[in-house]
Chains A and B, each alone.
Chain A
Amino acid sequence: MRNKEGAWFYFFISPWLAGFALLTLGPILFSIYMSFTDWDLFQTPHFIGFDNYQQLLTEDPIFWKSVFNTFYYALIAVPLGMAISLWIAYYLNKKLKGITFFRVLFYLPSVVPVVASSLLFIHLFAPSAGLINKTLQVFGIIGPAWLLDANWVKPALIIMSLWGVGGGIVLLLAGMKGIPAEFYEAAAIDGASSKQAFFRITFPMLTPVIFFNLVTGIIGALQTFAQVFIVTEGGPDNASQMIVPYLFQNAFRFYKMGYASSIAWVLFIIILALTLVVFRSSALWVHYEEGKNA
């Protein structure tokens, strides 16, 4: 009986097990091996030890630039987006007429495929004819050349990411719904203003959701690809080059499979390290209800 159940277990999980072996574990091992070779997809690979990693970390200024740009982007766009989504969620949580309309409208940009939003933002950021600079002009401001200016291209990508802030609002609103009304009633009796109630009740109660959004957001931002590939192609002068587009370029344009594999592993370490830092910091600011300590 027991054995039969075991056989059924393996029968049912066989699709995942096969996929794990062929598409995950096998590729992981192969990727480790490749990162120690000079394979270019066509000639026989040579084992070159740590040469790829050494070149990457000590002799490749573009890689370091792309690491810096990726951090710049992820560490500004994600917290900024979360602050703004929290601020908007505060208003979206009010019982007002037509609030559903605003909830839907604010969420819509986050469902736009990144290819479509990238192509659209090329126009929004156009130096003289673009909507953003034309609007700035109305207020007498001469806007920068955005995507063509090495100093402004990263802020431009961050602004573009903010169009999708609505994506994080759904979880925040759900979290706000879960806060017991008695908390606010008690605060009101004690004479707390609505601002005080927000910072003393709403925000601490939402920190687990914010933490979740922060971790998933940073992991996602570190893997930014399509925006850079379509909007800036890493330019100008690699000012917007990021890790994954650089990896893609090495693998599928230059066919430096070994070198690209070593980039993938460095990226993995970076993601792991940054996630650990955020997890470690969570003890300082994430509030869990008593008895629910995770």
Chain B
Amino acid sequence: MSKMALSEKLTSYTVLLAVGILLGAPFLYMISIALASDATTVQSAFTFLPGEWVWENFIKVFTNNNLGLYLKNSLIITSWTIVGSVFSASFVAYGFARLKAPGSGVLFLVLLSTMMIPGEITMIPQFILFRKLGWVNTFYPLIVPSFFAGAFNVFLIRQFVMAIPRSLDEAAKIDGMGHLGIYSKIILPMTYPILAAIAIFSFSWNWGNFMGPLIYINDSAKMPLALGVQLISTVSGGQMPPWNIVMVASLFLTIPMILIYLIGQRFVYEANISGGSSAIK
């Protein structure tokens, strides 16, 4: 590209800076509230930039508000959903990518069409089913569905597997490997970039998921962080919620997402660009 004119540079930086301030300001306000004292909180006298530095809030949220427990619950739930969605989807994707059977084409179309069904339709019957199983106030309704292979994930991995040359499968077959061996020893290791991407998607979705826990978990000891934070913000009896503590908890909810994005963007990016080419090597 040719060299940019000074005026063009100037406008560009002005626009970027202005947008940066608008999009960055809520983050600063969040931190400012998180560091405010209880006195400031009661008066809602928050400032844009942190005026006080009450770091005790970050300890109080653990001692007074169960944050440790919420974090632990979130970690358990998200870990299991990642394991479940990655393994079940890759297993199913191998079937759709490599094996043919009467009805396999139709079933793939059925799989694709399930992506069009909004979750609101299946939500109520699923609640009734899980309630019958006695799973209300347990992690099961939040974890178990991920072990049944999400359609979108299956589709992504299948596209990836299709790009892996079948000659590798054939060679393994000659060496006496069965389908389970080919899946676990040949295909699974080669699909690692797309599996990492799916793990990241799965983390993002489940870490922040609010509606699921809201439906199934009433017991505060079982709540994941996303619901726990909201619980802290709803105080009964006309009292003011401890907003400084709420924002500390919100930061704990947000920071892992930012870290995962910073670490994970490389994987997601690689998964996109290397879709088939690197798998051939």
Contacts and interface: CB of A to CB of B under 8 A. Distances in A.
Interface of A: 5-13, 15-20, 22-24, 26-28, 30-31, 34, 41, 88, 91-92, 94-96, 99, 102, 104-109, 111-117, 119-121, 123-124, 126, 129, 131, 134, 163, 166, 174, 181, 188, 194, 219, 223, 225-226, 229-230, 244, 247-248, 251-252, 257, 260-261, 264-265, 267-268, 271-272
Contacts of B123: 251, 264
B236 to A, nearest CB: 14
B160 interface: no
Interface string B221-258: 00000110110010000000001001100110110011
A108 B258 contact: yes
A129 B27 CA distance: 17
Contacts of A131: 25-26, 29, 46, 48
B100 interface: yes
Contact of A247 (B120, B227, B258): B120
B125 A31 contact: yes
Contacts of B23: 105-106, 108-109, 163, 166
B102 A6 contact: yes
A113 B13 contact: no
A245 to B, nearest CB: 10
Contacts of A92: 16
Nearest to B183: A12
Given A119-B230, A126-B44, A163-B23, 14 more contacts: A5-B101, A9-B104, A13-B92, A13-B96, A16-B149, A22-B148, A23-B148, A31-B125, A102-B16, A112-B257, A115-B229, A123-B46, A123-B243, A268-B117
B204 A124 contact: no
Main secondary structure of the interface of B (DSSP, over half): helix
A18 B230 contact: no
A185 to B, nearest CB: 10
A18 B145 CA distance: 10
Nearest to A244: B120
Contacts of B9: 96
22 contacts: A9-B101, A12-B91, A13-B107, A26-B125, A28-B122, A91-B12, A96-B16, A105-B23, A108-B261, A112-B254, A113-B254, A115-B210, A116-B30, A116-B229, A119-B230, A120-B26, A131-B25, A163-B26, A223-B118, A225-B211, A247-B120, A260-B124
A163 B22 CA distance: 8
A264 B167 CA distance: 47
Interface residues of B, number: 85
A248 B145 CA distance: 20
Q: Identify which of B16, B104, B114 gathers the most chain A CB atoms within 10 Å of its CB.
A: B16
Contacts of B126: 23, 27
Contacts of A8: 95, 99, 179
Contacts of A271: 118
Contacts of B261: 107-108, 111
Given A15-B149, A18-B148, A261-B124, A226 B211 contact: yes
B211 A27 contact: no
Interface in B1-32: 1-2, 4, 8-9, 12-13, 15-16, 19-20, 23-27, 29-30
A230 B230 CA distance: 8
Interface in B250-281: 250-251, 253-254, 257-258, 260-262, 272
Given A9-B101, A13-B92, A265 B121 contact: yes
Contacts of A248: 211
